[in-house]
Amino acid sequence: MSREVEIEEYVTRIMLDMGVPAHLKGYHYLRKAIIMTEQNLDVVGSVTKVLYPTIAKSFRTTDQRVERAIRNAIEVSWERGDEAMMEKLFGYSVHTFKGRPTNSEYIARIADKVRLDWKLKHLS
């Protein structure tokens, strides 16, 4: 199995475990954003200039719709997802005053987890 397919399957598992509903448009945009960020961490620093427009182009929509759909998917997962997993990934619980992570924080953290887990799996 190719690295790309393995990464996509792993990201999909994480997102489903975190409670991102697969029927939302934001689910597909978010998965692509995480995979793109895992491949190149620099894109998360340019979400509005690079990440959202690239995703929008591939899905034939606007970058504003991509941003909104991703935000909605994150909000749903933050409210309904696995609290223990969220706390483990983000370092604070869903009930703390900080609120949910931003789109870029969420994307970067999951992409970082994917990258680290991939390295651990293939170095051992």
Extract long-range pairs of 48-53: CB within 8 Å, 24+ residues apart: 51/107
Which residue numbers in the chain have pLDDT < 70? 93-98, 124
Cβ neighbours of residue 107 closer than 8 Å, sequence gap 6 or more = 30, 33, 34, 37, 44, 47, 51, 70
Q: What are phi and psi of 87, to 5 degrees?
A: -65, -40
Q: What is the pLDDT of residue 94?
A: 65
- CB count, 10 Å around CB of 59? 15
Question: Packing angle between helix 63-80 and helix 25-39, nearest 10 degrees?
Answer: 100
Looking at domain 3-123, its CATH architecture is Orthogonal Bundle (1.10)
> pLDDT tens-digit profile of 87-112?
888 887 666 656 788 999 999 999 99
Q: CA 61 to CA 70: how far, in whole Å?
A: 13
Sequence ranges of the domains in the chain: 3-123
Q: What is the pLDDT of residue 95?
A: 67
Q: What is the pLDDT of residue 96?
A: 65
pTM for the predicted model, two decimal places? 0.91
